[in-house]
Amino acid sequence: MSNLDRTLTMLKELTDANAVSGHEKEARDVMERYLKQSADKIFTDNLGSIIGEKVGDENGPKIMIAGHLDEVGFMVTRIDKNGFLYFQPIGGWWNQVLLAQRVTIMTKQGNITGVIGSKPPHILTPEQRKKPVEIKDMFIDIGASSKEEAESFGVRPGDSVVPYFEFTQMKNENMLLAKAWDNRIGCAIAIEVLNQLKDTPHPNIVYGVGTVQEEVGLRGARTSAHLIKPDIAFGVDVGIAGDTPGVSEKEADSKLGQGPQIVLYDASMVSHKALREFVIETAEANNIPFQYTSMPGGGTDSGAIHLTADGVPSLSITIATRYIHTHAALLHRTDFENAVKLIVEVIKKLDNDMLEKIRRA
């Protein structure tokens, strides 16, 4: 299989996997299969975050590259007498993207299909039609005629509900459409960094990590970082794209295909200045395109990792992505490739002397 085919297959398998926060097994199993191709050792923390270790110099710095396994979704909370399911959002959702969307309910008897519904607009008052339907007034229709029939399908409260969408390569083959880019693209970056370091000397120990429960509070990042005790960390995630109609440059100025985003600050962390400057210098020296971004309304796993123990110099590197936290998001393949290239080049130079410079800056 060519590297091109391998990469697309990996991205498809990662994004097609169903893994809402707290139920990340499918995505973790995919990531484990790919980590086995390059990691020296694979282990997990007690919440289920997966960690692949690649040793260059066993006395060198510990470098953590963290993408999160979980995607936004829902949890079944109640089945009514007519067999309709009511649900709790897991992670952040915008009401307007949900109605009439297909979902997968992960039951003890296997996956079943449902569709999100509400009262039809034809019976709403003119005033009601002007307002978005609230999530509390939505339900999931699985084609059951009663609570008993729904239960016979295997549905029960606590079941995970995941958006349904299949990985799609657009007519422009660099444009990739899928569910769960947030944040299977970060998992893919962690996998591919270790893959490219497989036969490459590096003066450190690298950990490619797929964390759990990021969308509900950066939880797996905290536990996996406690286990690894990294010296330097990179949170790899999606970022906001500003290249769609109606978005001003003041609101978001990143564009698909213009390189990975260097996050200056977000709601969970101010990026470590010396580490950020080192990464930027590396990008410029290797002619790797990049963009600056900030996310005052969001955060990444770096927010939890940088507060581990007595502190971990950290930086978030993100991929500009359209339509995150919906059923289908869109990103550019070269941004993924350049993020991997940048992190690999950084790792090649991140020895104990450089770590000390970063810490003392």
Residue type, 185: I
Phi (first) and psi of residue 8, to 5 degrees: -65, -40
pTM value is 0.95
Residue 100 DSSP code: T
| pLDDT > 90? residue 197 | yes
Question: Would you state the pLDDT for residue 4?
Answer: 56
Q: Which of 247-256, 289-298, 346-355 has the highest mean pLDDT?
A: 346-355
Residues with Cβ within 8 Å of 242's Cβ and at least 6 positions away in sequence, in order, are 248, 249, 251, 252, 253, 254, 255, 320
Look at the domain 73-163 and name its fold. Answer: Elongation Factor Tu (Ef-tu); domain 3 (2.40.30)
Backbone angles phi, psi at 319, to 5 degrees: -115, 120
Q: Give the tens place of pLDDT for each residue, 304-335.
A: 999 999 999 999 999 999 999 999 999 999 99
213-224 tens-digit pLDDT? 999 999 999 999
Domains 3-71+179-360 and 73-163 equal at CATH topology level: no
Task: For residue 276, give both structure tokens.
Answer: 């950020």
- pLDDT, tens digit, for every residue of 70-86? 999 999 999 999 999 99
Has 214 been annotated as catalytic? Answer: yes
Q: Return the pLDDT at 297.
A: 81
The DSSP result for 123-156, as a single string, is: GS-HHHHTSPPPGGG-EEE-S-SSHHHHHHTT--
Q: Which residues touch 206 (CB under 8 Å, ≥6 apart)? A: 53, 54, 56, 63, 65, 193, 194, 197, 347
Q: What is the dihedral of CA 271, 302, 193, 44, to 10 degrees?
A: 160
- Per-residue pLDDT tens for 170-188? 999 999 999 999 999 999 9
The CATH fold of domain 3-71+179-360: Aminopeptidase (3.40.630)
Cα dihedral across residues 6, 319, 331, 33: positive or negative: positive
Beta strands 329-332; 175-178: pairing state: antiparallel
What share of the chain in percent tops pLDDT 90? Answer: 91
Amino acid at 181: W
Q: Is the pLDDT reported for residue 24 higher than 90?
A: yes
Confidence bin at 135 (pLDDT 50/70/90): very high
Q: How confident is the model at residue 3 (pLDDT cuts 50, 70, 90)?
A: low
Q: At residue 1, does pLDDT exceed 60?
A: no
Higher pLDDT, 5 or 100: 100
Who's near 312: CB < 8 A, 6+ residues apart? 64, 225, 230, 231, 232, 233, 305, 306
pLDDT at position 318: 98
User: How far is it, in rounded angstroms, from Cα 45 to Cα 28?
Assistant: 12
State pLDDT tens for residues 100-131: 999 999 999 999 999 999 988 787 788 888 88
Is residue 182 a contact partner of residue 324, using CB atoms and an 8 Å limit? yes
Report the C-alpha gap between 162 and 165 in whole angstroms: 9
Query: What is the pLDDT confidence band of residue 9, given thresholds at 50, 70 and 90?
Result: very high
Structure confidence at residue 298 as a pLDDT band (50, 70, 90): confident
**Adjacency order of strands within the sheet including 168-169:** 168-169, 175-178, 329-332
What does the domain layout of the chain look like in residue ranges? 3-71+179-360, 73-163
The predicted model gives 144-170 an average pLDDT of: 97
pLDDT above 90 (res 299): no
From 214, 251, 284, 345, the catalytic residue: 214
Longest dimension (CA), the chain: 69
281-293: average pLDDT: 98
